[in-house]
A = this chain, B = another copy of it.
């Protein structure tokens, strides 16, 4: 009954099996092995175009190096107030961009509100060196609170980017969960929507440690090998990431794992509502369920072994919370079974 985070799960057996299989023998290091090359080609296939791809070990690395890749001096990037890069990366974006700033933007469900985004961009007058200059926008797909941008919503953000000459980054730590929710192809959900660069996360979805920084126009990736190495994020035995991706993509394992995680979220959501012991804070699109519980009840089921985190309520929710109520987050993953959820719902009572 571990709903704490999808990174509390380990790795899917087929990921582990692939690592064992590729453990033997010799292969060129630093991203130049035959397997590495095959996986680069695989990313071209997945995205139906030639892309430049760089394997790193953490989502924070992929996000920060992405921003560094599109940044210019004095650059300013816009992201949601609750975005991982804004609240959970301890200054890595600022460090790797050499002092550029993240500007938080409000919006329901973890999505950038286009009106607020425009307002924040408009605070930066053209050629006003003192304030810095807008350079990029980052969207998180799925968002930090389990919602998924629709294609239309992404089009709206991308149009604002084009209008202002800004690069569009997607933090795809839970990209697979968004993809299967919408039933779109990876291309349809990224560069066909105007995304320039993305953090393609696989760690939360069944890998040990596998994130790909994907640049959709390879011509814009010329500096990235140096940006990556200078940040100490180039692995010597790089095939240990490629081996994970090989299993990840084989027979659509990645989509199957994301579907399973999303299905568990739906099962949990339905059960929470049916229990009468919780209200949904908002509906789950992907693999995160946010619910409002009586605080004592939440504590009680934790004591019985359930693991989940409290969550700071967004501003507009605060007023609707009772004094004895608490907002909590449940995250599902490939590793969580139907039985796990059922057992939890039984506990909930």
Contacts and interface: CB of A to CB of B under 8 A. Distances in A.
A56 B230 CA distance: 15
Contacts of A230: 73-74, 90-92, 95, 99, 132
Interface in A1-38: 2, 4-5, 7-13, 15-17, 19-20, 22-30
Contacts of A227: 73-74
Interface in A88-119: 88-96, 98-102
Contacts of A204: 236
Interface residues of A, number: 81
B16 A20 contact: yes
Interface in A61-106: 61, 64-65, 68, 72-75, 87-96, 98-102
A237 B203 contact: yes
A194 interface: no
A90 B57 contact: no
A229 interface: yes
Contact of A2 (B26, B95, B96, B123): B26
A58 B232 contact: yes
A231 interface: yes
A234 interface: yes
A208 interface: yes
B223 A72 contact: yes
Interface of A: 2, 4-5, 7-13, 15-17, 19-20, 22-30, 56-61, 64-65, 68, 72-75, 87-96, 98-102, 123, 129-133, 203-204, 208-209, 223, 225-237, 239-240, 307, 312, 335
